[in-house]
Amino acid sequence: MTNATKNRLIDKTFLMFGILATLFGIVILCIFIGNIFADGISRLSFDFLESLPSRKPEKAGILTAWTGTLWILGLTTLVAFPLGVGAGIYLEEYAKKGWLSNILEINIANLAGVPSIIYGLLGLEIFVRVMGLGGSLLAGSFTLSLLILPIIIVSTREAIKAVPKSIKEAAFALGATKWQAIWSQILPASMGGILTGVILSISRAIGETAPLIVVGALAYVPFVAKSPMDEFTVLPIQIFNWVSRPQHGFIVNAAAAILILLSITFVMNGIAVYLRNRWQKKVKW
Amino acid sequence: MTTTDIKENNKASITEIDNLSKNIKIEARNIDVFYSEFKALKDINMNIYENSVTAFIGPSGCGKSTFLRCLNRMNDYIDGFKMKGEILIDNKKIYWKNVVVEELRKQVGMVFQKPNPFPKSIFDNVAYGIRIQGVKDKKFIEERVELSLKQVALWDEVKDNLKKGALALSGGQQQRLCIARTLAVEPSVILMDEPTSALDPISTAKIEELLFELKKQYTIVIVTNNMKQTARIIDMTTFYYMGELIEYDSTKNIFTKPKQEKTQNYITGRFG
Amino acid sequence: MNKTREYIIERLLFLCAAITVFTTISIILVLLVEAVGFFQEVSIIDFLTDKEWTPLFADKHFGILPLVCGTLLTTFIAISVALPIGLTIAIYLSEYAPKSFRKIFKPLLEVLAAVPTVVYGFFALLVVSPFLQKFFPEMSGFNSLSAGIVMGIMIIPFISSLSEDALYAVPKSLREAAYGMGSTRFQTAFKVTVPAASSGIVVSIILALSRAIGETMIVAIAAGQQPRLTLDPTVPIETITAYIVQVSMGDVPHGSLEYKTIFAAGITLFVFTFILNNISFYIKKKYQEKYD
């Protein structure tokens, strides 16, 4: 075999490996989802959505869990969206280059890499104990807000960076103040990118389990939360609780709850991708 | 030749322009500009006359755009920008600490090299400058938009599509829209930074025609490299080289009998 | 009037940004304060050298080593899965795959990272472990192998996407030079593109490592709750993160030694990820300067 044919053989072999590797992850994901579908689909019903937790698997439902997840979704968005976008605007438009902006940047990169469970410890000490919020929805949302803040900040900055400088200059040249230029031109032009980042980060917050366990979300909550100060549970914690039980009935419940959780996650990711594509198509500079 | 000589020359030449208003609109005294350590402009002194078109020419990096952007303080946001000296517009110091920059920019409009309409409708583009001043009167805004678009001869082309996105317009139309947007704020000075360099010849001709009309009402300062075409509408021409004002004279004199060797070399294309 | 409004807005936005600094300071303070309390009762030497971790038993031992060992073991397994697969994907997508294929499959792979980790825990415990038990019948239901493998699948997109970005950013002219000399795509990839993008690839691997070390739910569900100083992937172990979850699930009164143990464990975890994050940040900065 000549050198050239040998090289081409290696090339072809690697090509095969590449396709296999790319498909591997996706096939595994499909197997997993298929498995869960087979386990859980029979359990999905309005009854399951409307029932409170119970010691008997066939009677147990996820009413408290999904309402808790909705609460967390709403409260976390309310807190993290303005804070994250505000910080992103500050860093991109106001912060002067220097030691302060350097520190802020290193700091945010670092926060993005802090494990979520550490945020749980932070929330436990600051929100639950020092601020006296207890294991409430508010404490949980604050904790998750801090967790996703770096993601929102980074995507806000990226989105703002993508707006051509000439737009800002045009606004200034017409007598706009800095904030007028940001509010009326830069933010509308970057909103698609910002929203994409926000939705992705919120979808991550909804899937989080560990920090909420540490903060004190409960596995068993017999009532639907009515105010941000109520105790709560969320879908991932309910799933975690059921997975750890030996009875097969609870495993089926867990699978059914996972189907709900995955639907929420995928729908949110879908919206984010749709927004990103639409925004990219609409605006061509 | 020393700087004082250059100044003397400039003073002398200006008297040769007869048909020009002698009212000084903009006055620059001893302007030095630094970007951090780099000295971008060196001791610029010049008067710009009301209702004239004054052009800045010179090789790229000569400081002409920097000086233009000093006139509406667009350099304020650049890191490391520092300016010494005084610029007066209508006898008011524009770098005085109590000047509201936004007010200044309403008076001194700017058109950029590449058309930069906002990604909004044609109407919203023109209305923007009025709206940010807090004007809510719908009828007033509509009238002003129509007037401004008529001034740039764009009205007939877009009057049925005012809600259409501005980015859908052609490059030349976009640039005229940007000029209309500037006019809507009712400035008295319009700065233009190579406004036709990104346009095709036909669009360029349209904009030049427009300049001819506009100079009746406005004082126009334009950075350009397209001297031969625009010579007919430009009254005064300033040649910059390496951050220095080399020569300032009527366009005719600059082109036919430049006093400085550097100007001559540039005009005849020996460097640039 | 305008000026005051602008000033107030700028201050407010600054406060938003400053919250991130407060967050970091709070994390460090919280961990330090509780950990100092812990070390007043437990000697730091015991903490670092004792081979047993049994704070919840009558015979208490406070050696962090078994938890660190469990953490590193699952991380090692995960990276052994994710690195070859992720890198192969990255090279394939940037050097071989048609554009349309790349455009579809890159975001599709990123879905792997969007799936909530509790779902992966379910897979590891109820799908992968039973499957592996067919080949290793004596393997325990809770083990680091299945948890590690599933975690590896989860972090594939960290490596594949970020490495692909780095490879894709390598100037086309470099590749063309190699092709021009008769290189195959494989030779070009491994001799030219990968070395040129090496810092970006290293950053992606470090981030994946950091993510694996801090991952909680997969190991809490599937790896067991038995701190054990072992490298055997078939027996139950416990990671630092799983221990924190285990204690948090119970009712531990604030101020007790058990309460403080989770902060001592937390600060150990934080130190690991902090070092990794800073290395990656440092490489990234240096690499940006080189190419910009």
Question: Is residue B130 assigned to a domain?
Answer: no
Query: Structural domain of residue B247, as residue ranges?
Result: 3-116+187-267
Question: Is residue B169 assigned to a domain?
Answer: no
Q: Say if residue B12's pLDDT is above 50.
A: no
More confident residue, C90 or C282: C90
Which whole number is the average pLDDT over B178-185?
A: 94
Task: Count structural domains, chain B.
Answer: 1
Q: Say if residue A108's pLDDT is above 90.
A: yes
CATH code at B84? 3.40.50.300
Highest mean pLDDT among B8-17, C246-255, C283-292: C246-255
Q: How many CB pairs under 8 A join A and C?
A: 255
Question: Is residue C264 assigned to a domain?
Answer: yes
pLDDT at C155: 95
Q: What number of other Cβ atoms are within 10 A of residue A256's Cβ?
A: 25
Quick one: pLDDT band at residue B15, thresholds 50, 70, 90?
A: very low
Quick one: pLDDT band at residue B238, thresholds 50, 70, 90?
A: very high
**Angle at alpha carbon of residue A50, lines to A48 and A54, rounded to 5°:** 65
Which whole number is the average pLDDT over B167-188?
A: 93
Which residues on chain C are in Cβ contact (under 8 Å) with A269?
Answer: 111, 114
Which whole number is the average pLDDT over C137-146?
A: 92
Residue A134, sorted as left (phi over 0), alpha (psi -120 to 50) or beta, turns out to be left
Same domain (yes/no): C88, C16 = no
Quick one: pLDDT band at residue B272, thresholds 50, 70, 90?
A: very low
Mutate one of A92, A174, A283, A284 to test the B interface: name it (highest B CB count within 10 A): A174
Residues 192-251 of A with CB under 8 A from B: none
Quick one: pLDDT band at residue B221, thresholds 50, 70, 90?
A: very high
Report d(CA B58, CA B56) in Å as an integer: 7
pLDDT at C292: 43
pLDDT at B187: 94
DSSP secondary-structure letter at C223? T
**Percent of the residues in chain C that have a pLDDT greater than 90, as a whole number:** 68
Mutate one of A9, A14, A27 to test the C interface: name it (highest C CB count within 10 A): A14
Subunit contact A209:C217, Cβ cutoff 8 A? yes
Report whether A190 contacts A155 (CB < 8 A): no
Subunit contact A210:C241, Cβ cutoff 8 A? yes
Quick one: pLDDT band at residue B198, thresholds 50, 70, 90?
A: confident
Question: Is residue B250 assigned to a domain?
Answer: yes
Same domain (yes/no): C13, C112 = no
pLDDT at B3: 47
Give the strand pairing for B24-35 and B81-89: antiparallel
Query: Structural domain of residue C136, as residue ranges?
Result: 65-291
A178-182, A275-279, B200-204, C132-136: least confidently modelled range: A275-279
C3 and B CB contact within 8 Å: yes
What are phi and psi for residue B27, nearest 5 degrees?
A: -130, 125
Give the strand pairing for B189-193 and B219-223: parallel
Which of A238, A239, A225, A240 shows the shortest CA–CA distance to A134?
A225
Minimum distance, in Å, between the CA of residue A199 and any CA atom of chain B: 24
Chains that touch B (3 or more CB pairs under 8 A): A, C
Q: Say if residue B165's pLDDT is above 80.
A: yes
Which residues on chain B are in Cβ contact (under 8 Å) with C2?
Answer: 100, 102
Same domain (yes/no): C124, C216 = yes
Question: Is residue C269 assigned to a domain?
Answer: yes
Which whole number is the average pLDDT over B219-246?
A: 85
What are phi and psi for residue B254, nearest 5 degrees?
A: -60, -40
A115-124, C84-93, C253-262: least confidently modelled range: C253-262
Question: Is residue C26 assigned to a domain?
Answer: yes
Question: Is residue B214 assigned to a domain?
Answer: yes
Count of CA atoms in the C-beta half-sphere (13 A) of B78: 15
Subunit contact C273:A243, Cβ cutoff 8 A? no
pLDDT at A282: 59
Long-range contacts of A60-65 (CB under 8 A, 24+ apart): A60/A250, A60/A253, A62/A235, A62/A238, A62/A253, A62/A256, A62/A257, A62/A260, A63/A224, A64/A221, A64/A222, A64/A223, A64/A224, A64/A225, A64/A232, A64/A233, A64/A238, A65/A233, A65/A234, A65/A235, A65/A237, A65/A238, A65/A257
Count of CA atoms in the C-beta half-sphere (13 A) of C44: 7
Same domain (yes/no): C155, C252 = yes
pLDDT at A44: 86
Question: Is residue B102 assigned to a domain?
Answer: yes
Which of C249, C239, C250, C226 shows the shortest CA–CA distance to C141?
C226
Question: Is residue B170 assigned to a domain?
Answer: no
Q: How far is CA A221 from CA A135, A232, B88, B211, in A?
A: 12, 6, 72, 74
Average model confidence (pLDDT) across chain B: 86
Q: What is the pLDDT of residues B48-106, one digit of tens each?
A: 999 889 999 988 888 899 999 999 999 888 888 999 999 999 999 999 888 888 999 99
What residue spans of C63-171 are helical by DSSP H? Answer: 65-91, 99-114, 117-123, 129-133, 144-168
pLDDT at B257: 86
Q: Residues of B at the A interface (Cβ-Cβ below 8 Å)?
A: 72, 74, 77, 79, 102-103, 105-106, 109-110, 112, 114, 116-120, 128-129, 132-133, 167, 178, 181-182, 185
pTM of the model: 0.88
Same domain (yes/no): C221, C116 = yes
Minimum distance, in Å, between the CA of residue C136 and any CA atom of chain A: 21
> What are the residue ranges spanned by the domains of chain A?
3-43, 68-232
**Percent of the residues in chain B that have a pLDDT greater than 90, as a whole number:** 54
Quick one: pLDDT band at residue A119, thresholds 50, 70, 90?
A: very high
Report whether A207 contacts A216 (CB < 8 A): no
Same domain (yes/no): C144, C7 = no
Closest Cβ–Cβ partner in A97, A167, A174 for B129: A174
Report d(CA A178, CA A182) in Å as an integer: 6
Question: What CATH topology corresponds to A68-232?
Answer: MetI-like fold (1.10.3720)
Which of B58, B55, B60, B61 shows the shortest CA–CA distance to B39?
B61
C279 and A CB contact within 8 Å: no
More confident residue, B271 or B157: B157
A10 and B CB contact within 8 Å: no
Which of A271, A251, A274 shows the shortest CA–CA distance to A263?
A271
Same domain (yes/no): C98, C221 = yes
Same domain (yes/no): C172, C104 = yes
Q: How far is CA A158 from CA A186, A258, C229, in A?
A: 12, 33, 44
Q: Provide the greatest CA pair distance for chain B.
A: 59
Same domain (yes/no): C128, C237 = yes
Which whole number is the average pLDDT over B38-56?
A: 91
Same domain (yes/no): C20, C94 = no
Same domain (yes/no): C85, C179 = yes
Task: Count structural domains, chain C.
Answer: 2
Quick one: pLDDT band at residue C289, thresholds 50, 70, 90?
A: low
Mutate one of C11, C16, C245 to test the A interface: name it (highest A CB count within 10 A): C16
Q: What is the pLDDT of residues C84-114, one digit of tens each?
A: 999 999 999 999 999 898 888 888 888 888 9
Question: Is residue B192 assigned to a domain?
Answer: yes
pLDDT at A217: 82
Same domain (yes/no): C31, C136 = no
Report d(CA A55, CA A250) in Å as an integer: 9
